[in-house]
Every structure is written in structure tokens, then in C-alpha cells.
Structure 1
Amino acid sequence: MTLEQVAFDIETTGFGVDDVVTTVGFAVPLGVRVFVQTDGRAAPDVEAAVRDRVETHVKVSTHESERALFEAVSGFVETRFRDEDVLLVAYNGERWKGGFDIPFLRTRYAHHDIDWPFTDVPYADVMPLVTTRFNTTISGEDEPRGDLAGVYDALCDGKYSDLDPFTESSEAVTAYENDRFAELVVHNVADVLRTRSLGRLAERYCSKSDFNVKSLTPTTEG
């Protein structure tokens, strides 16, 4: 049985233990589901502004705090993932500086003392798969590409990179600080769609044994 891939990506205010998650996005078969927290600031018509820029169907919800965002994400995972044949995938989710998306979420969920949502959800990181099973070196460049945008542009059609309003991921922090929530969400949508494309590419050309699938179920719950 082939698991249905669900790509996800997060945005944060930085890389420190006290930084917060601003956005969590999931690419599901019918479109993209994005959760964004505004730190209590007004964010009218974010979904409409995003839909004006994105061809893919996108559903966006805004939340007043990181805690509220996590509670909404947990509810989505509970409803959407449980009892489904889903494989959660991320790009560089557990490798950069010891990991990013998954370890960052663990730290922030623990900070709020909220139960880990990804119980009984299998997970695979797309980065080590595509960077070792595909040639990602661009002619004229000395080193193979390893970043999400670079690998996607090397192996796929590039249309989701054209969607991204930012050149550097650090611009997502500035957008959040300046209340440019629609741009932040569009960037997140571009990232989850790029991740999904790479996951599907690997699924098409790599063996099941190449996917290093692991369980995200914690040893104890509650």
C-alpha cells in the first residue's frame, strides 16, 4: 500500500529556543491548508489576498497566538491524519543544525505544555533522499544544490519558485514583523508545494527502501 504524502513546512521568527512559530502549512491532495498566528494583530482578508496570488486551492486561518495556532494544528491533524494512510514529509525537517521543523515544533509544543499532535503519523525527510538519489548540480556551478528552492529548481519545473514572493527565507521574518501576513502565507504555500513536488518525484523514481520512514509517536502521551 502506498501512503498518501502530505508535505508540510513551518515559518518562525528565528532559530533560537525562544523564537516562535508563525505559520504551519500542509499540502493535502485537494490543496493547501495554512495556519498563521498574528500575535494579536489584525489580519483581515488574508485568505482572499492569498487566493488572488495562488492558483492552487488554499484555506487559511488566522490565530491570535502561537498557542492558539498549535491547538488548531492539533485539531487538524487529529481530524485529517488519524486512521488515514498518510506519510508526513518535510524538506530538511530533521537535519539542519540537528533538525529544523520537527525539533522546533517539539520545543515550542513543550513550551506550551500541549500534547504532541503527530501520534501514529509516519514521517520521512525528503532532503537526504533527493540530494543523494538525484543529481542536483547545475552546469557551471561547483557544488550540488541542497536548499529547497535550489533543488526544486534543478529537478522540477520551477513554477512554485515563481510563486514565492521572497528571495531569501529570512524575508519571512520581516514580513511577519511588518504585518505582511498574506506574503508570509504565500511563501509558506510555495515551500509546501515545492516539498510536495520533490516528494512525488522521489516516489516516482526511487524505491520504497530509499525512504527513511520513521514514527513520530512519542514514548508516552499526556
Structure 2
Amino acid sequence: MSELTLVAFDIETTGFTVDDEVTVAGFALPLGVRIFVQTNGRDIEGVSEVVQDRTECHVQLSTHASERALLEAVGKFSSDRLAGDDVLLAAFNGETWRSGFDLPFLRTRLTRTDVAWPFDELPYTDLLPLLTKRFNTTVGEDECRDLVGVYDTLCGGSAGELDSFAESSEAVSAFEAGEFTPLVLHNAADVLRTRELGLLAERYCSKSDFKLKSLTSTRYG
């Protein structure tokens, strides 16, 4: 684990069905945050400046007119910046043994848009089972199993201050209304939360506690 650089990943979507689309894809790296936004042809001038002013790290934001363009840009970023660079891609409930959201959703949308799988040569770990099994996340009578709850319980850092959404579902209505600033801030908050939790786990958990899997596709190369 100590040889791998943890990069957190998270997406926002228009919903949960096979016909819904990816609207935002974000990555938190050691030197900052990289976010890809689908605009559906709309103008989001000024969003990048507002987001940068609100965050304590460097934010690089790019806009894409369609979901396909966003997915292609994510693939190029991954091959240029992540693959073969001793990176560990991490998500919170991105893909666990029996469930997960981000990676299954992404696979379907890549299939629908005929875009190549972006994460070849990358190892992956999901932080949800690690954090809820190796830390006590019970508050009162309830066990926290969502990203916000686990982050607030274990870290309570500044990443949560970026997020103006009470529920992740608000990202759907924000995209529909063209409210891109809170949408991007929500994604930035989530990837920063995820990375902080991953670094916390590295401090207090053994290497064997991290369950790694290869994301390289069977027919890659």
C-alpha cells in the first residue's frame, strides 16, 4: 500500500436507470482535484473560478458538451495520468463484492456510448467495507454506512463544508436546472471526503485489510 498513491473517484448522474447519464466525474489526487463536467451544451462560465475560491486545493475543471465527450476525456486522463503510475483508485461504494454504484453504472454508460473502458492497468479498492468493518461507525443506535456519515464520524474535516446538498439526489435536480456550481462543489466534496478517509485507513489499518482488485479488462492489450 505504501508504494501506491491513493486517488479517489466519484461520479454524479441524472438518475439510477440504464438510460440515465454521467454528468460529473471527479478525481482527488495528492496535488488537487480533477473534475469533468457534462454541460449538455449549456454555458457554465465562471463556475471554475467560484469552485477554486471555495476549495483549499487546486481544482482543474473541464467542460464537455455530451456524456460521450466526458467519458472519452476521462479515459484520456486515466491513460495519461493514472495508468502505470503506481496509483490505487479508491471509491466509497463504487464497487463492492455484492453491490456498489459508480463502476457498474459507468460500465453500462460506456457500453451505451461505445467508449473504451478507462481504468486498464489500475488497481482498485472500495473503502465502504474497510471503514465500516475496521472502525466503529455507530452513532447512537445507528451504524453510519454512507460517505457523509462515515466522514463526519471519523474525519470531520473541511471537505464537508464545500457541500450544499443534504442528499446526493440533489445532484440530479441541480444538473437539470443548470446549477453547475453547487453540483461541481458537491462532487469535489465527495472525492475529497473519499481521499481523506482512504488516507485515514492507511494510517490505522494493515495492508491486508485493503481488498484490492485489478480493473484491467480481460481483453486489454
Query: How far apart, CA to CA, are the structure 1 residues paired with 2:190 and 2:97?
Result: 16
Task: Quote the residue 2:86 is aligned against.
Answer: 85
**TM-score normalised over the length of structure 2:** 0.96
Task: Quote the residue 1:71 is aligned against.
Answer: 72
Task: Quote the residue 1:219 is aligned against.
Answer: 218
Identity %: 61
Question: Is contact 2:35-2:59 (8 Å) kept?
Answer: yes
Q: Structure 1 residues 171-180 or 45-54, which shifts more?
A: 45-54
1:154 aligns with 2:153: yes
Q: Structure 1 residues 39-48 or 179-188, which shifts more?
A: 39-48
For residues 183-222 of structure 1, what are the structure 2 equivalents within 5 Å?
A: 183-221=182-220
For residues 54-203 of structure 1, what are the structure 2 equivalents within 5 Å?
A: 54-95=55-96, 98-138=99-139, 141-203=140-202
The letter of the residue matching 1:195 is T
Change (3 A) 1:96 1:120: closer
Q: SS state of the match for residue 52, structure 1?
A: helix
Gaps of 5+ in 2: none
Cα displacement (A) at 1:97 = 7.7
Cα displacement (A) at 1:84 = 0.4
Question: Is contact 1:32-1:57 (8 Å) kept?
Answer: yes
Query: How far apart, CA to CA, are the structure 1 residues paired with 2:200 and 2:54?
Result: 25
Query: How far apart, CA to CA, are the structure 2 residues paired with 1:170 and 1:126?
Result: 21
Question: Is contact 2:28-2:195 (8 Å) kept?
Answer: yes
Q: SS state of the match for residue 16, structure 2?
A: coil
The letter of the residue matching 1:70 is L
Cα displacement (A) at 1:71 = 0.9
Change (3 A) 1:150 1:205: same
Question: Is contact 2:26-2:188 (8 Å) kept?
Answer: yes
Question: Is contact 2:83-2:119 (8 Å) kept?
Answer: no
For residues 29-48 of structure 1, what are the structure 2 equivalents within 5 Å?
A: 29-48=30-49
Gaps of 5+ in 1: none
Query: How far apart, CA to CA, are the structure 1 residues paired with 2:96 and 2:79?
Result: 26
Q: SS state of the match for residue 166, structure 1?
A: coil
Query: How far apart, CA to CA, are the structure 2 residues paired with 1:96 and 1:52?
Result: 38
Question: Is contact 1:91-1:126 (8 Å) kept?
Answer: yes
Q: SS state of the match for residue 42, structure 1?
A: coil
Query: How far apart, CA to CA, are the structure 1 residues paired with 2:98 and 2:34?
Result: 27
Query: How far apart, CA to CA, are the structure 2 residues paired with 1:46 and 1:62?
Result: 10
Deviations 1:185-207 (A, max 9, x none): 00000000000011001111101
Aligned residue pairs: how many?
Answer: 220
CA RMSD of aligned residues (A): 1.4
Deviations 1:50-109 (A, max 9, x none): 112222211100100000001111110011012200000000011498220011111101
Task: Quote the residue 1:28 is aligned against.
Answer: 29
Question: Is contact 1:115-1:221 (8 Å) kept?
Answer: no
Cα displacement (A) at 1:44 = 1.1
